[in-house]
């Protein structure tokens, strides 16, 4: 298990990512992303390109290398930024048990 745990004090970084998921990230956001991308998962959410530059599918990458990737039925993206945001939200919920959008709306 990773030492660093995501908490409500990281909401500022969640807001930063949701505003601009691709590009430069502050050190605090990078720390959150490193935790989300860490190695202690049963699976990781990933994007599978279905049509180059225009269509992506959500999938689960299993922890065991070489195992089959599982596509999540009914989840298709046509906007890469929205896909990245969705994966961030899913990982946040998996790690904290809380919906990041709900937390952000409560903190306003």
Does the pTM of the predicted model rise above 0.85?
yes
Distance, in Å, from the CA atom of 36 to the CA atom of 87, rounded to the nearest integer, reads 10
Residue 64 lies in a domain: yes
Residue 37 lies in a domain: yes
pLDDT of residue 42: 83
Residue 49 lies in a domain: yes
Per-residue pLDDT tens for 3-36? Answer: 788 988 999 999 999 999 999 999 999 999 999 9
Residue 2, pLDDT > 80, answer: no
The whole domain housing 80 covers 8-106
Between the alpha carbon of residue 24 and those of residues 20, 28, 38, 40, 95, the distances in Å are: 9, 12, 19, 25, 23
Query: Nearest to residue 49, comparing CAs of 58, 41, 36?
Result: 58
Per-residue pLDDT tens for 45-103? Answer: 999 999 999 999 999 998 888 899 999 999 999 999 999 999 999 999 999 999 999 99
Residue 43 lies in a domain: yes
Higher pLDDT: 2 or 37? It is: 37
Residue 3 lies in a domain: no
């Amino acid at each position: 298990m990773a030492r660093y745990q995501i908490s409500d004090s990281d909401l500022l970084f969640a807001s930063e990512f949701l505003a601009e998921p691709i590009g430069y990230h502050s050190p605090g956001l990078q720390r959150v992303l490193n935790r989300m991308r860490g190695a202690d998962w049963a699976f990781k959410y990933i994007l599978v390109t279905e049509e180059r530059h225009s269509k992506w599918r959500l999938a689960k990458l299993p922890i065991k290398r070489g195992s089959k990737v599982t596509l999540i039925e009914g989840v298709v993206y046509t906007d890469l930024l929205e896909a990245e945001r969705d994966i961030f939200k899913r990982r946040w919920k998996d790690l904290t048990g809380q919906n990041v959008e709900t937390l952000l709306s409560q903190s306003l």
